[in-house]
Amino acid sequence: LELLARPTFYVLVLGAIAADYTTLVVHGTIVDYALDKGVSRKTAEVSMTYCSATELFGRLALPLVADLRFVGRTNLVATCFTAMAATSLALPYTTSFLSYILVQVTTALFLACVATLKGVLVADNFGATAVPMFWGANGLALIPLLLANPFITGYFRDTMGSYDNLLRLLAGLQLFTALAFFLLAFVQGKRSARVS
């Protein structure tokens, strides 16, 4: 229960929720959104396949950057969320399938890195014994969002006519999360400087 009194825990849960919701939106809309861009159904249906290579790279190579201490893990996650916000904002302005898929594979790259580092950051900050509590809190916090998601995506698709504003809303969530992680990295840096 001591874990629940730590603000860092809530920042990490926020990051997990933002990453999981980004995954949900990307996977749930990638084919329809490609069709909206004028792509044939056959081409649209393989959109996720194009993302798999960069997702693998994002899961293996980007975390290695932090492991080799070129950048801290918290800063890396913050940078990934910033990049995802930029790609979410860029996606509505893509005019060809090539530009569309380039933005999507870039999103997959950074999203995969965050997905890999979620549990690692919890273990770094609170020890491995806190990871199950983190996953439980993440799951509980995600339930209302998962239940509401069909209504959210349906509203943007059916009422507003496209996913453009959903992506802008998602970019806002990603940017807010990035700021929280940059703030966390700053506080952690100050703490470690005092200890040294």
Counting other chains too, the contacts that 68-77 makes at CB distance below 8 Å and 24 or more residues apart are: 72/185, 72/188, 72/189, 73/117, 73/120, 73/121, 73/124, 74/121, 74/181, 74/184, 74/185, 74/188, 75/181, 75/182, 75/185, 76/113, 76/117, 77/15, 77/113, 77/114, 77/117, 77/121, 77/181
Does residue 196 surpass a pLDDT of 70?
Answer: no
Instruction: Encode pLDDT of 73-118 as tens digits.
Output: 999 999 999 999 999 999 999 999 999 999 999 999 999 999 999 9
User: What is the residue-averaged pLDDT of the chain?
Assistant: 95
Pairwise pLDDT comparison (142 vs 2), residue with the higher score: 142
Q: What is the pLDDT of residues 16-25, one digit of tens each?
A: 999 999 999 9
Whole-number pLDDT of residue 62 = 96
- From the options 1.20.1250.20, 3.40.30.10, 3.40.1160.10, 3.30.950.10, give the CATH code of 2-187: 1.20.1250.20
Query: Domain limits of the chain?
Result: 2-187
pLDDT at 193: 82
The yes-or-no verdict on residue 7 having pLDDT over 80 is yes
pTM beyond cutoff 0.75: yes
Mean pLDDT score, 151-177: 96
pLDDT band of 37, cuts 50, 70, 90? confident
